Structure 1
Amino acid sequence: MTASRTWPPVQHERPYALSIAGLDPSAGAGLLADVKVMEALEVYGLGVCTALTMQHDADFRAVEWVALDSIIAQCMPLADRYPVSVVKIGLVQSLPVLAELTDWLTQTWPGLPIIWDPILKASAGFDFHAMTSQTLLSTLLPRLSLLTPNVPEVQQLAATDEAVRAARTLSVYCPVYLKGGHAEPINGVTTDRLLKDGQEIARFPAPFLPDGEKHGSGCVLSSAIAAGLAKGQPLPEACATARRYMNQYLASSPGLLGFHQSLP
């Protein structure tokens, strides 16, 4: 018997968030990390795989891409059954694949918030691809509710070396959360920024931790923001909560793999 949307009944104690991302066997990044974050923040995390990676926290060896048709096929039964509140997209093969995927998502879930964490290079040092199509970006970005690049990613996406200027440029199309971890800390503080319509609307300072580097930290942050949006928080509040979660996560262990815990 084919499962229906209503029977057996689905849980409604927690909202649902969908991660569409790569599989990292070490669980420090990608799909597995995203679901850990969502669980810690009391959101039910669903997962769709876009890539099979051969890696651990310190070494990236290879990637096998999942075809777009297979990605959508994984999404379809979830769309039939669960009231998804937000989608977070991580590693994808290319901008054209991302454009087709977001087109399907916006048709299937009209008005659903979509976050894209633009993973262009693995933290272990592997370059995935060069995404440089400004025409495609101008078509794609308006479909997003948030873009979460780090400094090198925003420079590459906007084709400019000045990170804040690049973020301002991209924020004309959709809000941008610019992660400050790759920038030089000032007086022991790193600063993340939220930008919208070409203007900075919020800052999130955090103490710089000399031993705070973590594999998959960008995945963790974007998933924490997704969890906040799934719970109905306005975007600035969701970003502030996610930054608090990141502070806790980065300090959770001395190694490259951190531990996930609920916020106090």
Structure 2
Amino acid sequence: MTPARILIIAGSDSGGGAGIQADLKTVTLLGGFGMTAITAITAQNTLGVQGVHPIPTDMVLAQINSCISDIGVDAVKIGMIGSAQTARAIAEHLVRVNVPVVLDPVMVSTSGSVLADAETIAAMHELMTWALVTTPNLPELEVLGGEASLTERGETLLIKGGHADGPMLTDRLVGHHGEIARWSDPLIDTPHTHGTGCTLASAIATGLGQGMALPEAIARGRKYVRKALMLAPGFGGGHGPMGAPLGFHADA
């Protein structure tokens, strides 16, 4: 079977735990073919982000064009964007590409480092208008305007509950007409959670590219992330990377 072609538009994580590096691992292990348009280079490890260098907008678009014009694309995952100008250019550029888009509105890293300025955050709303689903955690949801205001605009959100208190983690898929689905599991007690958002969004995009319905792609993606958390190698002195679930099966 020909693998689904997944275009990843995101930043690079030099530590390998998140960003493009985590995205490519996820797409590959779930049977897809990953392509990239790198929006920013970061100096980053488990302790935080030491530096960010945005890639010029025209180079980001050139990477996108190179992939789509020759190889084609079945789904798109968007993560860290790098600048408001790039966010708007991506929105204008990809609106003509009729494939599912998963937007992970990366604004703050697991360690608490800010990865997007106010203008870039505002520009994300343009991307959200045509993304199939946006995957904010609770702090990101608040910055973007809250559940009610976003769903009134017609956005579909996977609201990730990892920042909520309590022993259970609940993720909710919501849209204009209310809650569509929810998933709850016990929290996994580990500090090695770097890249969970990137990994989940890429897993969902891969499932969509493979022809899954959105709830099915989310369910498999969540199981993949939980397995990766359980396999964390324990690298670094801070929020370490997750493991690679080789031979992953959603029913296992």
TM-score if structure 2 supplies the norm length?
A: 0.89
Deviations 1:201-247 (A, max 9, x none): 10011111121541111101101111110110011111111111111
Q: Which digits, 9 at most, give the CA deviation of each residue in 1:90-109, with x for residues without a partner?
A: 101234421221210122x2
Q: How does 1:63-142 map to 2 (within 5 A)?
A: 63-107=52-96, 109=97, 111-131=98-118, 139-142=126-129
Read off the aligned partner of 1:184 and give its amino acid letter: D
- For 2:47, the equivalent position in structure 1 comes to 58
Where does residue 152 of structure 1 map in the other structure? 139
Tell me whether 139-148 or 125-134 shows the greater mean CA deviation: 125-134
Aligned position for 2:168: 189
Give secondary structure in 1 for the equivalent of 2:232: coil
Partners of 1:100 and 1:50 in 2: CA distance? 12
The residue correspondences of 1:207-218 to structure 2 (distance < 5 A) are 207-211=186-190, 213-218=192-197
Identity score, percent: 31
- Tell me, yes or no, if the aligned pair for 1:22 and 1:53 is still in contact at 8 Å: yes
Instruction: Give the stretch that moved more between structures: 126-135 or 48-57.
Output: 126-135
Q: Deviations over 1:32-58 (max 9, x none)?
A: 110100111101111111001001122
Letter paired with 1:123: T
* 8 Å Cα contact 1:132/1:157 also seen in 2: no
Task: Tell me if the contact between 1:138 and 1:173 (Cα under 8 Å) persists in the aligned partners.
Answer: no
Larger radius of gyration: 1
C-alpha change, 1:78 and 1:57, in structure 2 (3 Å) is: same
Over 3 Å counting, the alpha-carbon distance change for 1:247 and 1:238 in structure 2 is same
Structure 1 unpaired stretches of 5+ = 1-11, 159-165
Q: TM-score, normalised by structure 1?
A: 0.85
The letter for the 1-side match of 2:229 is L
Distance 1:60 1:24, change over 3 A: same
Instruction: Tell me the equivalent position of 2:4.
Output: 15
Is this contact kept in 2: 1:22–1:31, CA < 8 A?
yes
Query: Which amino acid in 2 is paired with 1:17?
Result: I
After superposition, residues 33-52 of structure 1 pair within 5 angstroms as: 33-52=22-41
